[in-house]
Structure 1
Amino acid sequence: MALVRERRQSKLGLRLPEITDRRPRFPLPLPPTINQQVTKSSISTTEAEYETVKVLGHGNGGTVYKVVHKKTSNVFALKVVHADSDPMMRRQIFREMEILRRTDSPYVVKCHEIFEKPDGDIAILMEYMDFGTLESLLKTTGTLSEATLADVARQVLNGLNYLHAHKIIHRDIKPANLLVNKNMQVKIADFGVSKIMCRTLDACNSYVGTCAYMSPERFDPDSHGSNYNGYSGDIWSLGLTMLELYLGHFPFLPAGQKPDWATLMCAICFGEPPSLPQGVSDEFRSFIECCLQKDSTKRWTASQLLSHPFCR
């Protein structure tokens, strides 16, 4: 037996890599396309072409800047993830890079370029949405009307329909991850916890995303179906997002109350789905009910919701 092992090893000539704290335990992103390749000699030139205007936000081990291309005066958003970020954040940025390279939709934020800086930071140059997020819009201008929400829902559903058709599940749909510009164009962003499915109906039950917008089956798989598909989880999150933009606060909690994990789990898993106040249209009420079915198999798909009277 010892002789057989030696001969097999000599033919293969392969050795499994050792798993260490210094070796990444996540898959590397897809190779860049030709127009995305950046050599070390051109990295400093690329950075020098842009002037930083201001910081748009911090979080998840990185910073987002508003930058201007010096020659053309075109404005972009530059997302920089620092080299010393923890492995989880690095894994998320590699996942986001892979998805951004795959997507090409007017309802998904556009990525123009990805490059690694000399200090190890990773930079993603994206289109700039001048009104920020729907979360910031809610804080500055107040709640949205049904007519505006119908337009928002239609755009987000077009984005989700595109992503789901390409076997991509976002897993973190919420007002903070939906970008908007002055023309009220809405685009899906932040794919750090998204998943590319190998097959359309693969299981997608990892506990990721913002817990407030998680569907009941994500909190309690045993009670709400352990073999659910993740696409319906995006629809649940969309329903809560639409309700929050209409009510002005997170639907499962009274206005001003800060959510905690235990309260959210009890409300989402054991409570009734949040209801709309009197005075809303039957179409909007029906749309929310189609999104917030606790049984994930009864939720409408993005394609079905696009034909709902509220969106039409």
Structure 2
Amino acid sequence: MNLESINSNLEDIINEAQTMKSYSHPNVLPLLASFVSGQDLYMITPFCAGGSVLHIMKYGHPEGLGEVAIATIVREVLKGLDYVHKNGGIHRDVKAGNILIDRDGSIKIGDFGVAATIGRGGSWGNDKGTRTTFVGTPCWMAPEVMEQAQG
């Protein structure tokens, strides 16, 4: 890795952490602090005792969640995404593993690792006007995104 690429990656990490730190919504996992040690980024967030929805489905409800539970979770996720979007962000990796449940049953969206900003084009401030990156988890992507027919 050359110095220019290291500086670019560090800038991306700083922008991601600053953006996450600025979020304050009941359905968005807050970033309490972050620091870099060597090449590792540490992000300190509250512990969500209920775990991820993926974990709950896999170990607690292998037959699937009921419609009321799903509707409740999705409603809260949409509230969080609405907040993120209104504040110029795009999550880009919403899936069961990134939806966390706190001890009191509150729903939080986590893992903004591939998030981007709306107003500035590409990931974390890239000046391009359109998005050309292909990010997220393939199993959770819409078929039209996987097909990449329109860029």
- Common topology (TM > 0.5): yes
Contact 1:114 1:122 in 2 (8 A): yes
CA distance in 2, matches of 1:107, 1:141: 22
The unaligned stretches of length 5 or more in structure 2 are 122-128
Aligned to 1:107, the other structure's residue is in SS state coil
Residues 191 and 137 of structure 1: CA distance in aligned 2, closer, same or farther (over 3 Å): same
Pairwise CA distance, 1:96: 3.4
Determine the structure 1 residue equivalent to 2:30: 110
CA distance in 1, matches of 2:27, 2:77: 7
Which of 55, 58, 65 aligns to 1:144? It is 65
Which of 109, 132, 141 aligns to 1:214? It is 141
Aligned to 2:100, the other structure's residue is in SS state strand
Q: Deviations over 1:264-309 (max 9, x none)?
A: xxxxxxxxxxxxxxxxxxxxxxxxxxxxxxxxxxxxxxxxxxxxxx
Of structures 1 and 2, the one scoring higher in RCO (CA 8 A, sep 6+) is 2
Which of 70, 90, 111 aligns to 1:169? It is 90
Contact 1:159 1:188 in 2 (8 A): yes
Q: Deviations over 1:20-79 (max 9, x none)?
A: 6133252644xxxxxxxxxxxxxxxxxxxxxxxxxxxxxxxxxxxxxxxxxxxxxxxxxx
Contact 2:21 2:30 in 1 (8 A): no
1:93-242 mapped onto 2 (5 Å cutoff)? 93-94=13-14, 96-117=16-37, 119=38, 121-142=40-61, 143-198=64-119, 202-222=129-149, 225-226=150-151
The unaligned stretches of length 5 or more in structure 1 are 1-19, 30-90, 227-312
Determine the structure 2 residue equivalent to 1:75: none
Determine the structure 1 residue equivalent to 2:124: none
Residues 221 and 116 of structure 1: CA distance in aligned 2, closer, same or farther (over 3 Å): closer
Pairwise CA distance, 1:148: 1.2
Residues 94 and 217 of structure 1: CA distance in aligned 2, closer, same or farther (over 3 Å): farther
Aligned to 2:3, the other structure's residue is in SS state coil
Determine the structure 2 residue equivalent to 1:22: 3
Residues 212 and 25 of structure 1: CA distance in aligned 2, closer, same or farther (over 3 Å): farther
Aligned to 2:8, the other structure's residue is in SS state coil
Pairwise CA distance, 1:139: 1.4
Q: Percent identity?
A: 28
CA distance in 1, matches of 2:132, 2:40: 31
